[in-house]
Amino acid sequence: MTETRIERKERTRRAILDAALELCERQPLAALSLRQVAKQVGIVPTAFYRHFESIDELGLALVDESFTSLRDLLRSARTFDSPPASDRALFLAVVDNSVKALVTHVPKADRHFRFIARERLAGPAPVRAAVRHQLELIERELATDIARVPGAGGWSGEDLLILANLLVNAMLSHAEEIALAGGREDVVRRIEGVARRQLHIVLIGALSWDSSR
């Protein structure tokens, strides 16, 4: 039954992260007190310092953890069961895949998504910066992804980033709504429909873009 020291440390570190994530459901990170977290975990306040130097640092750890969830989502959105034959089929498959990934992954990591949504603009400055940086990385990745799609040849790098920004913003807002839906099936399905149609509209517009300048 003897537990190695690093195991024990990792266990209470996890407990702190979980406690903070749960407490953040009711209040922003900036309003979170070290003592609240310690009480929730079941340790004495000063023990907190054995793991994090401050609440801000805790927040940065939570951002990292949350974006791991998001990357999982994005990876599965890029994975196709069967490679689509035609360009049009690829198109529809991309839309379908992305939206499906959204509605299956977000509810599984809803606390993380709610955390990001909350702290993206309201968190302490270092946390805000970290979130912003991660989102920019995602936009860039999406832009290079789009560049490989047939029909995107005439697009400039800047235009690709602008399109990626539009898509990430839209999907992020849907992810927020799904995370806030608390798993209610009907709400999630409605959002799924909205997301699909919006993706359609944007991609159709994007396809006839460079011819319309």
- Which parts of this chain interact with a copy of itself (CB under 8 A)? 27-28, 30-31, 117-123, 159, 162-163, 165-166, 169-170, 173, 176, 194, 197-198, 200-206, 208-209, 212
Angle in degrees, 0-180, between the axes of helices 110-122 and 125-148, rounded to the nearest 10: 110
Site for DNA in 26-55 (CB under 7 A): 33-36, 39, 42-47, 50-51, 54-55
Asked whether 97 and 80 are in contact (CB, 8 A), the reply is yes
Closest distance to a copy of itself from the beta carbon of 123 (Å): 8
Among residues 39, 38, 51, the alpha carbon closest in space to that of 11 is found at 51
User: Cα angle vertex 165, ends 162, 168, to 5°?
Assistant: 155
Q: Does 75 bind DNA (CB under 7 A)?
A: no
Contact mark string toward DNA, 11..30, x via CB under 7 A: -x------------------
Q: What distance in Å separates the CA atoms of residue 48 and residue 43, rounded to the nearest whole number? A: 8
Binding site for DNA (CB under 7 A): 2-6, 8-9, 12, 33-36, 39, 42-47, 50-51, 54-55
